[in-house]
Amino acid sequence: MRSPFNRHALWQLGADASIIAAAWTLAWLLRFDQGRPVYYERYLDWQIILLVVGIQLTVFALAGFYNRWWRYVSTRDMWAALRGVCLASLATFLIFTLFEFHPARVPKGVWFIDLLLCLAFVAGSRLLARTLIERPLPGQVVARGKEAIIVGAGDAAHLVIKEMLRNPRLGYTPIGIVDDDPRKRNLRLHGIRVLGTTADLPMVIRDRRPDEVLIAMPSASGEMRGRFVEAARAAGVPVKTLPGLTELVSGGSGLATQLRPVEVEDVLGREPVEVDLDAIAGYVAGEVVMVTGAGGSIGSELCRQLSLLGPSRLVLVDNSEPALFEIDRQLARERGFGDGVAVVADVKDGFRMRQVFESHRPGVIFHAAAYKHVAMMEMNPLEAVRNNTLGTRTVADAAVEFGAKRFVLVSTDKAANPQTIMGQSKALCEWIVETWGHRPDVSTRFVAVRFGNVLGSSGSVIPIFRRQIARGGPVTVTHPEMTRFFMTIPEAVQLVVQAGAIAERGQVYVLDMGDPVRIMDLAENMIRLSGKEPGSEIAIEVIGSAPGEKLHEVLVGDGEVVSSSLHPKIQRIERPPVEAAWLDEELAVLERFVGEGNVVELVGALSRIFADPRKVATAVVPGSGQ
C-alpha cells in the first residue's frame, strides 16, 4: 500500500498543524469580535484545539497532501487542497455534532469562517513556499547564468520558462519574450513580459542585450527560424532552439534541457510532416518486423520508430557488427524495447537469408540495406550490383517463399533517369519490386519508396561540411550551381513507414522533398551558423564534380507520371511494369558477370539495359493496383 507521507512530510505536518490551530482560533475571534460568551470558552482550550488538529491532519494525510512537494505545487494540487480542506471541515463538524463535546453547539458562522481561513492558509502556504524557492534572490540574476530572450509564448515556451525559473542549475534567466501574435504584447508568462512580436526581435535584442536568444517554437518553419537566427547573428548574440516536433517527441522529458545550437537542418525551410499513426500501427502492431541494414542511418531510425508501434518482434539484420551492436543496445537499454533480435547476416548470402526467414518468419520487411555513395560505387560496380540489386532479389525471393505480408524497399532519387552504377543498381531494385508486386499468384504486397538526400546521414554532405568547418576550412563544393533535395532522417523514415501502410501492389512511391537546395547556399549557411563568415574567415573551394555526379537530381524520371496518394507528402509514380521474364534473364546475366568478376562486361550490360526503353509487360495484371 502506498504511504500517505513522503520524506518532506514532517515539516509539512508541523506547518499544517499550526495552520489548523490558527484558523480555528481566528474563526472564533472573528465570529465574536465584540466578546465571546463564557460557555464557548471551552472550544479554545488546548485539548479541543489538539482534537481539531488531529482530525483535520488525519483527513489531510488520507487526501494525499503529504505525497506532494510544495515546491512543485500546481493548479491540480490547489483543487486537491480545496477538496481536502472541505472534507476535513466536514469530518470535524460531524464528530463534534455526533458526540456533542459541549452543550453549546459550535455556531454555524464559526464552521464557515474556519473553512475559509483554513483553505486560504493551506493554499497560501504552498504558494508562498514555491514562490520563495523559485524567487531570484538579490544579485541572483548574474549567479543564475545567461540572460535569455525567449522566442514564442505558447505551450513550449511556458514549459521552458517554468523549468528555467524552477531549476537554477540550467543557468538561464529569461528576461523577455517575443511572439508572432501581436495580441500577446505586454502579457506576462510566469512573470516574464512579452516585449513585442517576432518582427520586433532585432529591436528587443538591441534594447535588452541578452546573452542568448532561445527559440521555443517547435512547429516553426525553417524560414521563420532562419529569420530569428539572422536577427540574432546581426547583433552577435548566440541562438539556441528547441528541436522540431518529430525530434522533440523522442527526446527527454525536460524541454529546457533539449535546447541546442541552431543547425542547418533547422533553417532549410521544411514544414513538419504529419503521419497517420493509427494506420501505421495497424499493419505493424503484433507483427514480426524485419529491417535489413538496421545499423545504417535510415535502418537504425526505422528500428527506433518501429519499436514504438508495438511489433511482436523486431529482427535487426546487418552485416556490420559494430553498427548492429549500437542500435540493438540503444533499443534495449535506452528505449526499454526488449523484443529486438540482432542478426549478423549478409543480404547477398541467399542461404543465410533463408535461415533468418525460416527462424523468425517476418510478416513485414523493410529493406534498407544498400551501398549508397555514388563515387564509391563507380569504382566498385561489382559490389554495387552484388549488394544492391542481387541482395534485394535475394531478400524479396525469401519474402515470397516464406509468405511475408509486406515488403517495403527503401529506394533513392538516383534511380530516376539513372546515369551512375549506383543509380542503375537501385533502379533494378525497383523493377524487382514491381514485377513481384504485379504477380497475381503472390500474396506479398511489394512497394518501393524513393527519396533524395537525408540530412546528417553517414557520409552525406552536412557531416563533411561540419568537419571541414571545425578544422577551419576550406569547405569543398563540387559545383557552384549544384542542387540537391534534402529531408531529415526521422521525417523520411516516417513517410517510408506511412507508405508501407498504403502499400498498393508493385507500386513505387516518391516522397515530397520540397524545393531543391543549392549546395553553395548550404555551405554558406553552415559557416554562418558556426559564427564565421564565408570567404573571409572560412574559404569555400570549388573542386569539380565527382564521377557520375549529376548537377541537379530529379525525383521523377522520363516517362514517369506522378499522381496523388492517400498521404499529401507521398506521391504515386505511374509507369508500366517491366516484363518479368525479360528482367529475370537480365538479372541472370548480371549475376554471371558478378560471379566472374568481369567488370567490363557488367558495366556494358548495365549500359545496354538502360540505353533502350525498358521492356514493359504486355498487360497489366488485373487488380494490381489494389
Task: Please count the CA atoms within 13 angstroms of the CA of 564 that sit on its side-chain side.
Answer: 3
User: Which pairs from 258-265 meet CB under 8 Å and 24+ separation?
Assistant: 259/160, 259/214, 261/529, 262/215, 262/225, 262/229, 262/529, 263/529, 264/455, 264/462, 264/522, 264/525, 264/526, 264/529, 265/455, 265/456, 265/462, 265/488
Residues linked to residue 508 through DSSP beta bridges, in sequence order: 448, 573
Q: Mean pLDDT of all residues in the chain?
A: 81
436 burial (CB, 10 Å; 0-12 / 13-18 / 19+) is: buried
Q: In the chain, which stretches have pLDDT less than 70?
A: 1-11, 33-34, 38-39, 65-77, 100-104, 129-144, 243-258, 265-266, 268-279, 456-459, 548, 612-626
Distance of alpha carbon 337 from alpha carbon 353, whole angstroms: 24
576 burial (CB, 10 Å; 0-12 / 13-18 / 19+) is: middle
Number of residues that this document lists for the chain:
626
Which CATH number is associated with domain 277-454+486-513+555-611?
A: 3.40.50.720
Distance of alpha carbon 589 from alpha carbon 114, whole angstroms: 94
Evaluate whether 351 touches 526 at the Cβ level (below 8 Å).
no
The domain segmentation of the chain, as residue ranges, is 9-134, 140-267, 277-454+486-513+555-611
Please give the pLDDT value at position 623. Answer: 40
Residues linked to residue 150 through DSSP beta bridges, in sequence order: 177, 214
Please give the pLDDT value at position 39. Answer: 63
Question: What pLDDT digit, counting tens, does each position of 189-229 carry?
Answer: 877 888 888 888 989 898 888 888 888 887 777 778 888 88
SS3 575: coil
Contacts of 619 (CB under 8 A, 6+ apart): none
Distance of alpha carbon 252 from alpha carbon 249, whole angstroms: 8
Please give the pLDDT value at position 137. Answer: 47
Q: Which grid cell is 534?
A: 564565408
Quickly tell me which residue has 524541454 as its cell.
Answer: 255
Contacts of 54 (CB under 8 A, 6+ apart): none
Helices (H), 63-189: 75-99, 108-134, 140-143, 155-166
Question: 140-267 architecture in CATH?
Answer: 3-Layer(aba) Sandwich (3.40)
Sign of the C-alpha dihedral, residues 475, 479, 480, 485? negative
Q: Which grid cell is 510?
A: 516518391
- Nearest to residue 60, comparing CAs of 119, 7, 103? 119
Let me know if the fold of 140-267 is the same as that of 277-454+486-513+555-611: yes
Residues linked to residue 510 through DSSP beta bridges, in sequence order: 450, 571
Q: Which grid cell is 458?
A: 553517414
Please give the pLDDT value at position 250. Answer: 44
State the pTM of this model.
Answer: 0.69
Question: What pLDDT digit, counting tens, does each position of 473-483 carry?
Answer: 899 988 888 88
Please give the pLDDT value at position 126. Answer: 72
Question: What pLDDT digit, counting tens, does each position of 253-291 carry?
Answer: 455 556 777 777 667 655 656 666 666 778 898 999 999
Distance of alpha carbon 130 from alpha carbon 150, whole angstroms: 23
Q: Which amino acid is at 257?
A: T
Distance of alpha carbon 508 from alpha carbon 523, whole angstroms: 32
Q: Which grid cell is 344?
A: 549478423
Distance of alpha carbon 224 from alpha carbon 226, whole angstroms: 5
